[in-house]
Structures are given as structure tokens and as C-alpha cells.
Amino acid sequence: MIEIKNLHANIDGREILKGINLTVNKGEVHAIMGPNGSGKSTLAQVIAGREDYEVTEGEILFNGKNLLELSTEARACEGIFLAFQYPVEIPGVSNTTLLKNALNSIRKYRGEEELDAMEFLTLVKKKMSLVELSEDLLRRSVNEGFSGGEKKRNEIFQMAVLQPKLAILDETDSGLDIDALRIVANGVTKLKSPENATIVVTHYQRLLNYIIPDFVHVLYNGKIIKSGDKSLALELENKGYDWVIEEAAELV
């Protein structure tokens, strides 16, 4: 589904990603772990198309298309969804406005009919129950006055409505209490299908108790230094990152 080859990216002239190689196939869940500042969020943002980052080398293919040539919105329409680490508040824009515009823009891109108000409402109500959000949220401004947990649940709710092919969850577990974590993880798990894929970017393995990864990658200093299966996440939880970093250093 997505093929990242030798990806290098800068921000303000500083190199953050230093040659990432990663392939994710449909039906798979990949976890990207690593200490703070290793480039995890940068990778998520570069895939989503954040313009602050400059890609200096490498390529990203998404279902055969050169992703780096597409605008942020075209990437979303192609089926990429980024669940933000810090969802922004947008006063004056209701969740309904956001979702309706997003959904219809994506449908239009794919040559599908736009949904009318009734169809939209029916769909949205069905998806809300998935993350246990109440309907009055729809009228509220996007993320404005939301608690940390509500913001993250709102991200997963948007994901449920937009039904991406590739979901990237950027530190979705950070700042969540255990109940909210369970709700979010359940939502993500229910949205999993053999046709879509998920990249979970996380610092801790806690979320991976609920969303079981097929592959775990360790990102350090802008490179993936180790990959393994879900047991790697547990090992990292127990032993920390130092041993992986040392192991990688020895290889060089």
C-alpha cells in the first residue's frame, strides 16, 4: 500500500529524517516506536503532506502513486488519514461543517455522489457510537474546549467517517487515561479490515496491548534501526531503547 524509500526530510535546514525505508501492505498494522525527538512525528507529518518539511531525497509511493507530488488534500482524498498528536482547535467551525466538507470533498475526488444532509447525518450518528461520543459534539466547534481524551476520540471518530485506506495514529495514546485509551483502541480495532492499513506511532507499548501490531519498528535519529514483531514492543517496554541503539551502533 505504501512504500517509503530512502526518505530524507529537513525542517529549517535541519535534517530530521535520514533515510527511512518502510513498506506497509494492506491489512497490516505497523507500530513505529522510538525515544522522543527520533523523528516519529515528522515521519507522520511528511506522509500527510505538512509543507513545513522539505523532502530532500527519497520517495513515497502510495498504491503506486508518487505521494510527494500530491497536495495535502489530495493525499487525504487518496485515502491517507493522520490522527494528530495535538488536534488543533478551530473556533467557529463546527464538527459537522468539517466532516461534511471533508467527506464530500473525498467523495467528489473519487467520482462518487455527494451525500445529502440526511444521509450524512445517518452515517455520522452510526460512527459516533464507535467512540462513545455524544451527538451534541457535532454542533460544537472543532476541538474547542475539548478535553485531551475528547480530542483524541474525535480524531478516531473522523477516521471512522472518512474511512481511510491508511491511518496514521500519531501518539494517539499520549495523555489518555486508561478508559479513554480503551475506547480509542476499540474504535481503531473495529475499523481494521483486510483492505486498510494502520501505522501506530507511539512512545509506549501500552496502546499496543489493544491494537496488536504485525510489525514493530524502532526509529532513532531519523532512521529505522530495528524491526521485529509484536514481541519487540514488549522487549522495549522492559529494557528501554538503549540496547537497540547500542546494537545498531555496533553494526555501523
Which residues make up the interface to another protein (CB under 8 A)? 48-51, 71-73, 75-77, 81-82, 84, 87-88, 90-93, 97-99, 101-103, 105-106, 109, 141-142, 158, 162
Ramachandran region, residue 156 (left: φ > 0; alpha: ψ -120 to 50; beta: rest) = alpha
Q: Are 7 and 17 in contact (CB under 8 A)?
A: yes
Give min distance, CB of 87 to another protein, in A. 7
- Please say which residue, 151 or 226, places its beta carbon nearer to another protein: 151
The least distance separating another protein from the CB of residue 151, rounded to whole angstroms, comes to 12
Least CB distance from residue 233 to another protein, whole Å?
27
Task: At 31, list the grid cell.
Answer: 507500530
The smaller minimum CB distance to another protein, of residues 38 and 143, is found at: 143
Rounded-to-integer distance, Cα 179 and Cα 149, Å: 9
C-alpha cell at 92: 467557529
Residue 136: count of CB within 10 angstroms of its CB: 8
Q: In the complex, what is the shortest distance from the CB of residue 12 to another protein, in angstroms, rounded to a whole number? A: 14
**Cell numbers at residue 249, please?**
551502533
Q: Looking at beta carbons only, is 48 or 156 nearer to another protein?
A: 48
Q: Which is nearer to another protein, 72 or 227 (CB)?
A: 72
> Which of the 8 DSSP states describes residue 12?
T
- Those residues whose C-beta lies under 8 Å from the C-beta of residue 124, and which sit 6 or more positions away, are 96, 99, 138, 161
Using the minimum distance from each CB to another protein, give the nearer residue, 69 or 250: 69
Minimum gap (Å) between residue 214 Cβ and another protein: 25
- What are the grid coordinates assigned to 15, written together? 535534517
